[in-house]
Amino acid sequence: MKILVLNAGSSSQKSCLYNIEGNSLPKHPPEPIWTANIDWTVSEKEGILTVKAKEIKQTITLDRNNKAQAIPQMLETLTQGETKVIGQLNDINVVGHRVVHGGIKYSEATKITPDVKAKIAELIPLAPNHNPGHIEGIEAIEKVLGNVPQVALFDTAFHQTIPLENAAYPLPFEWLEKGIRRYGFHGISHEYCAHRAAEIVNRPLSSLKLINCHLGNGCSLTAIKDGQSIDTTMGFTPLEGLMMGTRSGSIDPAILIYLMGEYGLTPDELNTLLNKESGLKGVSGISADIRAILQGIKENNFRAQLAFDMYIHRLRSQIGSMLAVLGGLDVLVFTAGVGENAFLVREKACETFEFLGLKLDKTKNQASPVDEDIATEDSSVRILVIHTEEDWAIAQQCWHLCH
């Protein structure tokens, strides 16, 4: 079975193709036979499509004024040129999509119908940086591949188990009835990492109290108990919680009222401010990329140091919040771009929890660990770095639904 996965981010479109042979899934994630990434952040004038297949890497420039052609152009590389891996696009059996916001309607992988697509579009105001890209991807596949089965996996689905007292906001009850509540995000990653963590520590997931730190351009923590999400830092939208690459995370809501009243900012301007101009980028004035922030610190840049210190402070505070909800901790997991690669972030995050008996092995931490335990042998809490495999998690669900 050939499974195409589309994973749309706020400014990118990551895709891959898996070829699953036989009547069962492999135990460990296989390498895709083709990967592609569309990046719109490199230049204000153009996008960059990077394709890898058969040990060949190809870079293609995309027209920023014609974004609708980007996905069809990406799909052409599957059947043409040096990156050709299939004879024709009709060889693809199913297409899986990561969808950020599914509200409370969807708790599992779902075949995409007109009604499902309409619901994803309806939820665009709650995930304005992501859901439009999902619709774009779904419609591009419809145009290019016709009636191929398409499946949606929702980042909100894993968090359906959060107790209502943790999910509800302290607003008048009628707003909860209108759907104003904590939904949570990064659920595909959080669920995958929880299962992988149980494998690594060789214990049943149902026996673990676990905090998963998904730290990328978007960041969220999830408290997982008995294999279920019981609290998470993102909320009604992916804006709440931790300080992120360009997102502010949680701030005093009265700041928004003040900015509207004193400076006349519109809702659209506030949305841009909070989602695209804040976080590491806004504080540092350098970049949303933690690597650029760390370089700025080496150059004695005050704002870079401030951005990093704020990032760590908020990360520690939210880990503490998840600890309180769990009532203990067996495993602390770091994953996603920052969590997997920025050893200094892991080190600083762990420092203040040594009173729990949590002990980081600094040598292991700095050795580019992948799916490894970086705690000392006598640590009371296991500390894992896990390479999140959202795409493979999506492919697995597609296989189960369509096999």
End position of a domain, from candidates 139, 154, 169: 154
CATH code: domain of residue 213: 3.30.420.40
More confident residue, 132 or 277: 277
The per-residue pLDDT for 67 is: 75
pLDDT surpassing 70 at residue 10: no
The per-residue pLDDT for 78 is: 93
pLDDT surpassing 90 at residue 19: yes
The per-residue pLDDT for 11 is: 65
Confirm whether 184 is domain-assigned. Answer: no
- C-alpha 247/C-alpha 133 separation (Å) is 18
More confident residue, 63 or 18: 18
Both 357 and 225 in a single domain? yes
Confirm whether 376 is domain-assigned. Answer: yes
Q: What is the pLDDT of residues 210-262, one digit of tens each?
A: 999 999 999 999 999 999 999 999 999 889 999 999 999 999 999 999 999 99
When the pLDDT of each residue in the chain is averaged and rounded to a whole number, the result is 93
The per-residue pLDDT for 71 is: 87
The per-residue pLDDT for 230 is: 98
Expressed as residue numbers, the domain containing 264 is 203-385
Confirm whether 51 is domain-assigned. Answer: yes
- pTM to 2 decimal places: 0.90
Confirm whether 6 is domain-assigned. Answer: yes
Confirm whether 170 is domain-assigned. Answer: no
Both 143 and 214 in a single domain? no
Burial environment of residue 320 by CB neighbours within 10 A (0 to 12, 13 to 18, 19 or more): exposed
Total residue count of the chain as it appears in this document: 403
Burial environment of residue 267 by CB neighbours within 10 A (0 to 12, 13 to 18, 19 or more): exposed
Residue that the structure tokens 């309180």 belong to: 324
Number of domains in the chain: 2
Give the active site residues.
155
- The closest alpha carbon to 349, from 313, 306, 298, 307, belongs to 313
3-class DSSP assignment, residue 262? helix
Answer for the pair 192, 199: CB distance below 8 angstroms, yes or no: no
Spatial CB neighbours of 114, under 8 Å, sequence gap ≥ 6 = none
Both 128 and 58 in a single domain? yes
Q: What is the CA radius of gyration of the chain?
A: 21
Both 211 and 146 in a single domain? no
Q: What percent of the chain has pLDDT over 90?
A: 77
Confirm whether 37 is domain-assigned. Answer: yes
- C-alpha 46/C-alpha 305 separation (Å) is 32
